[in-house]
A and B are shown apart, each in its own frame.
Chain A
Amino acid sequence: MSFNITISTGSNTPIYKQITDQVWLAVVTGKLAVGDQLPSVRALAEDLVVNPNTVARAYADLMRDGLIESRAGRGVFITRKRKVFTREEGWRRLEPLIDAAIGEALAMDFTHGELREAFEKKLGQWKPGKGGNRSNE
């Protein structure tokens, strides 16, 4: 499992949100699949050097959203991938990211053609998420 959470302080995004965002991203991009185990609250807190309550808060959010489940005595596991946002909300979040990337690229004198090509190439490198099948035991 090549999955690592990193956090930064001083960010506009609170730490618990940085954690949930990264778990979501890992699931959506197939880095984490259904059945994969996440570190315990305590282990992740000590690894990231953050208050365990912050990790617990992140896990609680992920559990509420049905992305992970806690199996008694065994740990925390990815259960399924679900649509995170409505289409509309998704676009709203996507647009500033695309704008930022294009803005930076144009400032570095890349052409539209080069950008299109780079985007296509990058897209080809990403596997579509493979955690999509619901495992209802």
Chain B
Amino acid sequence: MNEQSVICTRGLTRYFGSKPAVDNLNLEVPRGSVFAFLGRNGSGKTTTIRMLLGLLEPTRGSGTILGYDIRALPPEARARIGYLTEDHQLYGWMSVKECGEFQSRFYPRWNEKIFRGVIGHFGLKQTARVKDLSRGERAGLCLGLTLAPEPELLVLDDPALGLDPVAHRSLIESMIYLTRRSDRTIFFSSHQLADVERVADYIAVLDRSVLRVCCPLEAFRNSVRQVRLRFSGAPPPMPKIPGLLQTIRSEGELRVICAHYNGATEAALRALNPAQMEPVPLNLEDAFIGYLGERGEKSFILPETEAQP
């Protein structure tokens, strides 16, 4: 295990009944990274996060967080982790200020300046009652409560869910601000690929309980490529090419999306004798959908050791 990893799991598995929610997960999150944890609804992201934080017992496998065994996290480890849940649990009868006072008692390292900074950034008044807050304001309050103890590791479970554009931008700005300290790690799950593009340097993708990508964002973008092949007649049938994700066939043309694109892929495509062959740039969303689409073979993009920051 790499000691630069703040999260590391080996074969982590959790069953609900006879169905695996997370299947044999090997995840490694480098210290200081902004790590996006992606996957469709129900792919096992929240289950993974709950196991990492010791809130749910794994069926099999092991894991460490900040070097501690996830099955026996001591309070001092928990104090160094900030966890923002999907559903922003708060006491409705408290004011914003009271929430801060209440939370601060649990943390020896509470930084009131950060708390005020974040809630100010989200435009919240100290005297406002929690029950009167909008979804975006609750998110801001929860983020303030999570950031004020200055956690070394921040775990955000779908923090952008249901936020309006202004609150959303505040959230992303807060995340960028956090990177001022290079030893802080942010692990967040999301469906917002625009956010991922802005803030993440690593991504992991869960697909139906199985990890299919875990690498630097840039490596993912470089690996998934789209090529257009033009033919003078009808395009030939597509042979089996390693990493082939998708083939879109139209008159005189094949559009192919491949993972692990390399010289061999190119040679295999050239062997089809196209009249013309050109790369077609893919944006992150298209690459992601191409990768998770139903037609692709199950391929893995493994972490690249040389790409460690």
Instruction: Give residues in A with beta carbon < 8 Å to B.
Output: 9-15, 42, 45-46, 49-54, 57
Contact = CB atoms under 8 A, between A and B. Distances in A.
A12 B197 CA distance: 11
Contacts of A10: 193-194, 197, 283-285
B201 A51 contact: yes
B281 A12 contact: yes
B309 A53 contact: yes
B173 A51 contact: no
Contacts, number: 48
A13 B281 contact: yes
Interface string B1-45: 000000000000000000000000000000000100000000000
A97 B285 CA distance: 24
Contacts of B281: 12-13
Interface of B: 34, 169, 172-173, 176-177, 179-180, 193-194, 197-201, 218, 221, 281-285, 309
B283 A49 contact: no
5 cross-chain pairs, A with B, having the tightest CB-CB distances, nearest first: A12-B281, A9-B194, A9-B197, A50-B198, A51-B199
Contacts of A51: 34, 176, 179, 198-201
A42 B221 contact: no
Contact of B179 (A11, A15, A52): A52
Contacts of A14: 197, 218, 221
B76 to A, nearest CB: 30
Contacts of B201: 51, 53-54
A47 to B, nearest CB: 10
Given A10-B193, A10-B283, A12-B283, A52 B198 contact: no
27 contacts: A9-B193, A9-B194, A9-B198, A9-B284, A10-B194, A10-B285, A12-B281, A12-B282, A12-B283, A13-B281, A14-B221, A45-B176, A46-B173, A49-B169, A49-B173, A49-B176, A49-B198, A50-B199, A51-B34, A51-B176, A51-B179, A51-B198, A51-B200, A52-B176, A53-B309, A54-B201, A57-B218
Contacts of A53: 201, 309
A14 B287 CA distance: 12
Contacts of B199: 50-51
Contacts of B282: 12
A13 B197 CA distance: 11
Contacts of B180: 42
Looking at B197, B218, B221, B282, the one whose CB has the most chain A CB atoms below 10 A away is: B197
B15 to A, nearest CB: 36
A95 B179 CA distance: 41
Contacts of B177: 46
A56 to B, nearest CB: 10
Contact of A15 (B173, B198, B309): B198
Nearest to A12: B281
A54 B177 CA distance: 14
